[in-house]
Amino acid sequence: MNIANDRNYRERVYELVKQIPPGRVMTYGQIARVLGAGYTPRTVGYVLHASESEMVPWQRVINSQGKCSTGRLTIPLNLQQTMLEQEGVAFDAKGKCDLGMYEWWPEGSEPDDVTQPSLLT
DNA sequence: AACTTGACGAGGG
DNA sequence: CCCCTCGCCAAGT
């Protein structure tokens, strides 16, 4: 896919982010993966910061460590975390949340299925 | 047109 | 668990 041909490069990110339900989160890398070729975690972050003033629930996008990466922005450091906490996302003392619990996947875009080693022995 | 800079992520030490 | 390095690709200078 040729990005130069696709003026909706940003739109796709916004549309996806808008689908994240309150109290759930997605990571930059996850979004890049769902959107496919041409998208990388970095570009997703770039695209997202440019939308600050739009109707996009940007606070629901965090990094793969389960933390907010808004350290260098003009945004107050804890704003994102505070907003998420108001939606019901719990963070520990280190500012980290449990991705296994809050991470959300759009329908049909699930990663590889579980492969539980349950009865291995 | 080249160089730098990110709301990142995986891997190694 | 923290810190560093590298790969990634659009935008700004």
**A5-36 per-position pLDDT tens digit:** 555 788 899 999 999 999 999 999 999 999 98
The protein footprint on chain C, as nucleotides within 7 A of a CB, is 2, 7-11
pLDDT at residue A115 in the model: 41
Question: How many angstroms separate the Cα of A13 from the Cα of each of A16, A60, A92?
Answer: 5, 13, 28
Contact residues for strand B with beta carbon within 7 Å: A 27-30, 40-46, 48-49, 51-52, 58, 61, 63-65, 69-73, 75
> Which tens digit of pLDDT belongs to each residue from A69-121?
876 666 676 889 999 999 999 999 989 999 999 999 998 776 554 443 332 32
Residue nearest to nucleotide B5 (CA to C1'): A46
Residue nearest to nucleotide C1 (CA to C1'): A94
Strand ranges (E), A1-121 = 26-27, 61-62
Other C-beta atoms lying within 10 Å of the C-beta of residue A3:
12
Which tokens is A54 given? Answer: 């739009």
* A57 CA → C5 C1’, Å: 32
